Amino acid sequence: MRPDVQPSASHFINGAPVEDTTGAPLGVVFPATGERIARLHEATPAVIEQALAGAQAAQKEWAAMSGRMRGRVLIRAAGIIRERNRELSVLETLDTGKPLSETLVADAASGADALEYFGGLAGGLTGEHIPLGGGPGGDFAYTIREPLGLCVGIGAWNYPTQIACWKAAPALACGNAMVFKPSELTPLGALKLAEILHEAGLPPGLFNVVQGGGDVGAALVSDPRVAKISLTGSVPTGRRVYEMAAAGMKHATMELGGKSPLIVFDDADPEDAVSAAILGNFYSAGQVCSNGTRVFVQGGIKEAFLERLARRLRGAVMGDPLDEATSFGPMISEGQLAIVLAHIARGKEEGARLVTGGRRAERPGFFLEPTVFADVTDDMTIAREEIFGPVMSVLDFTDEDEVIARANATQYGLAGGVFTRDLARGHRVVAALEAGTTWINTYNLTPVEMPFGGVKISGIGRENGHAAIAHYSRLKSVYVGMGGVDAPF
Ligand code: NAD
C-alpha cells in the first residue's frame, strides 16, 4: 500500500510546521501515475518574513557554539536518516518518481554522508597564524573563520533530499542559518530533513523550509538580510539569481546545467564504457545535471559499443518505481516530458540516427523510453543543448586532439569523463577538459569527500569536500602589532 505523504503543514519554520492556507495551492504529483498525492501551499510574504527573521535571530547563538557541538547535531541527524532510509527513500520515490532501487542507495544515503562529513569537519574549522618576521615577539597576523550569517538554499527537483543536505550540512557546520526552498515540483523531502535535524537537536530557526516557485525564490534571494545564496537549477535561473545576488554583493554558489562529454577510446573496456554511458544517461531517467550526454566513441570500438548498448538497454525494467525490480522510472512532469520529446523530434529532423527509444511509453504517468541517437554531429541541437531527459547522443571521433577540442566546444563545463586503458592518456585528457568535475574509467560518482561543481556557464563555487567550507564562511584578518608604531611625522 502506498503511504500517505501529506505533510502536517507546508512549511517548517523556527523548529515547527507552519501553514498559511492563503498561499497559492501547490499540488504534489506522483510522476509514475500523474495522481496528486499531497496538497501544499506556497509561502506568502508573511511566511517568508517569519522564516528569514527566525533564521537571523537564531544564527548568532549557533555560531557561538563550538564547531564540535554543532557537528554532533549533524552527525546525529545522519544516523537518524540512515535508520529511516527506507521510509525516506519511499517518500523520495513518490516525490520524484525515481525508482526505489535508486533512492534506497543514492538520495537519503548521500544526504546522510554530507551531514556526517561536514559534522566531522565542524570541530576542525579554524583560521591560521601568519608569522610576519622578527622572531618571537615580532608582529604576526591571524585569521578568524566566521560564518556568513543567513544563507538561502534553492533546490532543483531531481535530487530533492540530497540537494537540501548538500547545502544545509556545510552551511550549518560553519555556523550559519539556512532558509531552504525546494523545487515546487518536489516539496516533501526537505520538510522531512527539517524534522530530522530538529529531532537530532538542531535549535529552532537554523534550518527552515518554505515552499513555492520562482517568486518565492526571488523574494528570498533579494532580501537584504541574506548573505549567501546556493542555487541548484538551470542556467537561465542561475543567471537571474546570480544577478540578484550581485546587486546585494552576496556570496553565491551556482550549480547549473551541463552538456558533458563522455569520451570512449578504442582501448577502453567496452562493457565498463557502456555501463558508464547507461548510468550517465539513464539513471534518474536522465535527469542528472552532470550526465555525459555527448558520448564520443572512437571508430575502432563504435560497433562493439553500440551493439552492447542496445543489448543492455533491452534489460531496462520500466515500471512502478515503488517496485524494487524497476530500474527505469518516469520523468518528473508532463511539461518536462514534452520538452524532451521536442528535442527528440529535432534530433530526427536534423538527421541523427535513432537507434532505440524515442517515444512516450504507453502507460500512465510521464514515462519516456530510453533513447539513443547515433551519427550525431556537433552542430545538431541535441548535441548542443541540455535535454535533461533519457536521451543519449553518440558522436564519432578519430583522435585525441580532435576529441578534446570538440568536447570543449560548448559554453557548458560541468563535467566530463574518459574511458581508456592508457592511464597517461586518461590524465592528459581530463587535464585538458574544460569541466569542473571529471572521471577516469568511471562516471557520475559524486562522493561527498570530492568537490563538485562546474566551470563556464555551468556554475561557480563548489559543493562538497573541504572546498565547500570556503563557500559558507569568510575570513577576518587580524594584524597584531607587537612593537611601537613608526609614522613619518
Ligand atoms: P529551474 O532552474 O527551473 O529551478 C531551480 C530552482 O530555482 C527551483 O526551486 C525554482 O523554483 C527556483 N527558481 C526559479 N526561478 C527563480 C528565480 N527567479 N529566483 C529564485 N529562484 C528561482 O531548474 P529545475 O528545472 O528545477 O532543475 C533542472 C536544472 O537544474 C537542469 O538544468 C539541471 O542541469 C540543473 N541541475 C544542476 C545540478 C548541479 O549540481 N549542477 C544538479 C541538479 C540539477
**Region 231-242 average pLDDT:** 98
pLDDT at 309 over 90: yes
Q: What contacts 56, CB < 8 A, 6 or more positions away?
A: 149, 150, 177, 225
| pLDDT for 17 | 98
Q: What is the pLDDT of residues 446-457, one digit of tens each?
A: 999 999 999 999
pLDDT at 121 over 90: yes
| pLDDT for 63 | 98
**Region 365-383 average pLDDT:** 98
Question: What is the C-alpha to C-alpha distance for residues 242 and 254, in angstroms, rounded to an integer?
Answer: 8
**Region 406-433 average pLDDT:** 98
pTM for the complete prediction?
A: 0.98
Question: What is the C-alpha to C-alpha distance for residues 42 and 376, in angstroms, rounded to an integer?
Answer: 42
Q: What contacts 34, CB < 8 A, 6 or more positions away?
A: 334, 364, 365, 366
- Calculate what percentage of the chain has a pLDDT beyond 90: 100
Question: What is the C-alpha to C-alpha distance for residues 129 and 126, in angstroms, rounded to an integer?
Answer: 10
Question: What is the C-alpha to C-alpha distance for residues 327 and 346, in angstroms, rounded to an integer?
Answer: 27
- Calculate what percentage of the chain has a pLDDT beyond 70: 100
Query: What Cα–Cα distance (Å) separates residue 47 from each residue in 21, 112, 219, 282?
Result: 11, 28, 11, 38
Contact 414, 457 (CB under 8 A): no
> Does residue 289 have an active-site annotation?
yes
pLDDT at 466 over 90: yes
Q: How far is the CA of 182 from the centre of ligand 1 (A)?
A: 10
For the chain, what is the mean pLDDT?
Answer: 98
Q: Which of 95, 165, 181, 237 to mutate to test the pocket of ligand 1 (most atoms within 8 A of CB)?
A: 237
Report residues whose beta carbon is within 6 angstroms of any ligand 1 atom: 154-158, 181, 183-184, 213-214, 217-218, 221, 232-234, 237, 240-241, 255-258, 289, 386, 388, 414, 454, 459
**Region 383-404 average pLDDT:** 98
Which residue in this structure is represented by grid cell 511566511? 47
**Region 138-167 average pLDDT:** 98
Q: What contacts 159, CB < 8 A, 6 or more positions away?
A: 106, 107, 110, 284
Which residue in this structure is represented by grid cell 525490480? 325
Q: In this structure, how many other beta carbons lie within 10 angstroms of the beta carbon of residue 381? A: 14
- Give 1's pLDDT tier (boundaries 50, 70, 90): confident
> Does residue 167 have an active-site annotation?
yes
Question: What is the C-alpha to C-alpha distance for residues 109 and 442, in angstroms, rounded to an integer?
Answer: 20
pLDDT at 299 over 90: yes
Question: What is the C-alpha to C-alpha distance for residues 220 and 213, in angstroms, rounded to an integer?
Answer: 11
| pLDDT for 2 | 85
Query: What Cα–Cα distance (Å) separates residue 5 from each residue in 195, 217, 341?
Result: 14, 24, 30
Q: Which residues pair with 28 in a beta bridge?
A: 38
* Angle made by CA atoms 473, 217, 151, in degrees to the nearest 5: 15
Question: What is the C-alpha to C-alpha distance for residues 278 and 300, in angstroms, rounded to an integer?
Answer: 20
Q: In this structure, how many other beta carbons lie within 10 angstroms of the beta carbon of residue 336? A: 22
Query: What Cα–Cα distance (Å) separates residue 465 from each residue in 172, 412, 452?
Result: 15, 22, 8
